[in-house]
Structure 1
Amino acid sequence: VPTPLRKSKDPDISYIVAAAEQVAARFRPPQLVVLESTTYPGTTDELLRPMFEARGARVGENFFLAFSPERIDPANRAFKLQEIPKVVGGVTAACTRMAALLYRQIVGRVIEVSSPKVAELAKLYENVFRNVNIALANEFALMCRRLEVSTREVIGAAASKPFGFMPFYPGPGIGGHCIGVDPFYLAWKIRLSGYEARFIHLADEINRSMPVYVVELVAEALNRRRRCLNGARVLALGVAYKRGVGDIRESPALEVLSMLRDKGAEVAYADPYVPSVEVDGVLLKAVPAERVVGL
C-alpha cells in the first residue's frame, strides 16, 4: 500500500493502518504477516504487532511478523524480481525464518537481518542515499555552469575511476512516490528524538529548486536566438518522473511546464506513456510521436 506524505511532510501511514486492521480482523493462527511498504523505523514492531496481539496473537508462536522492503525499480529491465535480493527482518528469530522461507521460493537471495527496524532503515537509507547524491549532482551542475564547464564531461571523467566513485547525473529535480518522499519518513522519526536530519532537508531544498534552473536554461537558450520566453512555443519531451513509465506523481516536469506558462510560453509535451496531463487546471494532450520526429 502507498505511504505518502501529508502537506506538513509528516508520514501518512493511514493506508498501512487500514490494511493492517483488515488483516488483523481476520487473524487465523498460525499466520505470517509481512509488511513491504516503505515506512519509518519502528512501524512493524510498534504499530502492527499490538494490533494482532490485541486479538490473541502470540508473536513467534502462532503469529509471525516481519518487514521486507519492496525494491522494485519500474521500467528497469536489467534486474528481474527474482534477481533482486530480499532483506528480511522479523520481530523474533522465528518470524525472520518464516518470512525468509517464504521469499526463498520467489527470489534467489534473502538477506536476514536482526529486526524489522534494521530492514525498515535499510530501505530508507537506500533512498536517502539516492536523494542526497542526486542533490549533489544538481548542485554540482549549478557550479559547473558558473565555471563554464560541461557537467557531464566532468562526471564522465570522474566515473573513469574504478573505485570510490559512483556517478549521479543532474536533472530537473526528483519525482515519483519514493525518492522524494521516503527520506522524510526518517527525518520525521529522528526528529522525535531531538535530532534534525540536515542532509535530508538540504537535499530536498536543492532538488526542489531545479525546475527554476531548467526554466532559466530555456530562457537563455531562446535569448541566444534573439527570442524571448514570453510567446515562445516550448515542447517538453517526457513528463513522467522517469523514462519508460507513465507515473507523473511528483514529476518536476509538471512544475517546469507550469513555470513556463506563467512566463507566457505556449507549452506542449510528448510522452508515449502519458496520454494527457493537467497543468494549472488546463488539460494537455500528448503530441503524437510522428509530429515530434524531425523537429
Structure 2
Amino acid sequence: MRADLAVIGLGHLGLPLAQAATAAHLDTIGYDPDPHTVAELTAGRPPGGCAGGGAAQQEPGAGPPSAAGLRRMLAGGFRATTDPAVLGRVRTAVICAPTPLAADRSLDLTAVGDAARTLAGHLRPHTTVLLESTVYPGTTEEFLRPILEAGSGLRAGRDFHLAYSPSRVDPGNRAFGYANTPKVIGGLTPACTEAAAACYGRFADKVVRARGPREAEAVKVLESNYRHVNIALVNEMAIFCHDIGVDLWDVVRCAETKPFGFQAFRPGPGVGGPGVAVDPGHLGYPGRTLGYPLRMVELAQEVNGRMPRYVTQRCATLLNEHGKSARGARVLLLGVSYKPDVADQTSAPAREIGSRLQELGAQLSFHDPYVARWRVHGRPVPRAESPYEAAADADLTVLLQQHRTYDLQGLAAKAQLLLDTRGASPAGTAHRL
C-alpha cells in the first residue's frame, strides 16, 4: 500500500510540512539521511536547531513541532526513516532540503541535488514530486528535472508530476500556520499543478496556482527580498534618525496609521534565519548566471550586513558616555536566536555582535530561554540563570531579541544600562536603536 506523502529533509522546512500533513490524517513518512535526526524524531525529541524548550508554546503549524507536537505526530502515524526505499512507495514526495549561502553568496544546491538523486533511484510512475527549498527561478526545470529523469528513466510531465511550491513557514507565528497560509503551486504542466494542488489541498485552506514552476520560484525570491529591502530601509532610517535626534519608533508608530501605501517594518541588530535574501544575479548552479545583480537586493544586504557593527559601536558609545570603557565591561546579551520565541540561531546577528564586543575587551554573558548553550569564536559564553539579576550586575544589557517571556519593564528597572535594539521596552526606560 502506498503512503500519501514522503517529506525529504526533516529540518526547518520539512518538519512543519510533515506535522501539518499528519494532523490532516495523511499517511506521512519523513526521510532524512542523518541517523541522529531520525533517531531523535523517533524518540519524540525535536532535533537540535529545529525547536527549543519554549517552542511548546507554538500553535500547531507555526513552525517546527515541539516535543509534545512531535509525540502527537508519532501517535498520528508519522514515521521517520533513513531507508530511501520508502520513497518508492508514496504518492507524493516533497523535497525540503536546505539551500544555505555559499561563500560567493549563491545558494548551495548540494543538498537538493543529493535528495533528488536519492529519490530518482526509487521514483515510480504517477508519483507527484515537489520542491519546497529556496531556489532560483529555473531550478526545478533545469537542475532538478534532469537529475530525476536521468536517475529514474522516467519523463517529467508524462510519467511523473513535477512542481514547485515556495515554503512559507514562519516559526513562532501564532496566527498563521500551514492551514491558513495560502499555498502557491507551479507545475511543469497543468496536470502537474493539479496533482500537487490535490495533495496540498488536503491540509491547506487555499491553493494558489502559478503559471509554472518558474513563476512559483520567483514568488519566493520576491517575498524574501521584499522583507530584506524594507528592513534595510528602516535600518538606514534608524541610523539617520539617531544622528539627528529623532525618535524613529515614534515615526514608525505614526506612519503605520496611514491606511494605504505603507507597511510598517521595524529596525533591528541585523537579519538572520534560513530565509536569506535571494539574488539570482549570483551564480545559482554551473552554467547559469544573469551576469548582473539585483541592485536593490545587493544594497539591502550591504545595509543589513553592517547593522551588527553599528550596534557594537552604539554599545561602546553608551558605555563611554556613562564613564566606562568597553574593555573589561560586563555586557549581557538577551536573546541570541534569529527571531522571537524560537531556538534557531541560523545567521543570527548576535554572534557577530558578541564577537565584536569581545574584540573590544568586553566580558560577555548571555540569556535566552530557548538556547541552553552558546559559543562565540568556538568558546562557550556563560549563560545567566536569571536575566534580571544578570542585568543588575552587568554594566550594559543589550536586548537583541524580544522573546515573549521577557518582562521588559522589569528588565529596564533592573538594568544599569539597557540598549534595546528592538524598540520593545516601554518608552523612556531604555536607549533604543
Check whether TM > 0.5: yes
Structure 1 match to 2:142? 46
Change (3 A) 1:128 1:165: same
Residue number among 208, 229, 235 corresponding to 1:138 in the alignment: 235
Query: SS of 2:185's equivalent?
Result: strand
Query: SS of 2:155's equivalent?
Result: coil
What's the CA shift for 1:49? 1.5
**2:204 is the counterpart of 1:107:** yes
**2:178 is the counterpart of 1:81:** yes
Instruction: Report % sequence identity.
Output: 43
Query: SS of 2:331's equivalent?
Result: strand
Contact 1:59–1:92 (CA under 8 A) maintained in structure 2: no
Q: Which runs of 5+ in 1 are unaligned?
A: none
**2:115 is the counterpart of 1:36:** no
After superposing the two structures, state which structure 1 stretch, 278-287 or 255-264, moved more: 278-287
Q: Which amino acid in the other structure matches residue 184 of structure 1?
A: D
Contact 1:88–1:119 (CA under 8 A) maintained in structure 2: yes
What's the CA shift for 1:50? 1.8
Deviations 1:32-83 (A, max 9, x none): 1011111011111111222233333233332000001111100111112100
Counterpart CA distance in 2 for 1:89 and 1:152 is: 40
Counterpart CA distance in 2 for 1:148 and 1:187 is: 39
How many residues align? The count is 293
Query: SS of 1:268's equivalent?
Result: strand
Structure 1 match to 2:278? 183
**2:400 is the counterpart of 1:281:** no
**2:104 is the counterpart of 1:12:** no
Change (3 A) 1:236 1:29: same
What's the CA shift for 1:289? 3.0
Deviations 1:136-155 (A, max 9, x none): 11011111011110111111
Contact 1:124–1:186 (CA under 8 A) maintained in structure 2: no
Counterpart CA distance in 2 for 1:19 and 1:103 is: 21
Residue number among 54, 57, 63 corresponding to 2:154 in the alignment: 57
Contact 1:31–1:64 (CA under 8 A) maintained in structure 2: yes
What's the CA shift for 1:12? 0.8
After superposing the two structures, state which structure 1 stretch, 20-29 or 183-192, moved more: 183-192
Contact 2:131–2:164 (CA under 8 A) maintained in structure 1: yes
Q: Map residues 112-191 of structure 1 onto 2, 5 A cutoff.
A: 112-178=209-275, 181-185=276-280, 187-188=282-283
Query: SS of 2:326's equivalent?
Result: coil
**2:314 is the counterpart of 1:234:** no
Query: Which one has the bigger helix percentage?
Result: 1
Q: Which amino acid in the other structure matches residue 205 of structure 1?
A: E
What's the CA shift for 1:195? 2.8
**2:138 is the counterpart of 1:23:** no
What's the CA shift for 1:288? 1.2
Deviations 1:234-261 (A, max 9, x none): 1011111111111111111111111111
Change (3 A) 1:268 1:223: same
User: What is the root-mean-square deviation of aligned Cα atoms in Å?
Assistant: 1.7
Q: Which runs of 5+ in 2 are unaligned?
A: 1-96, 391-410, 416-433
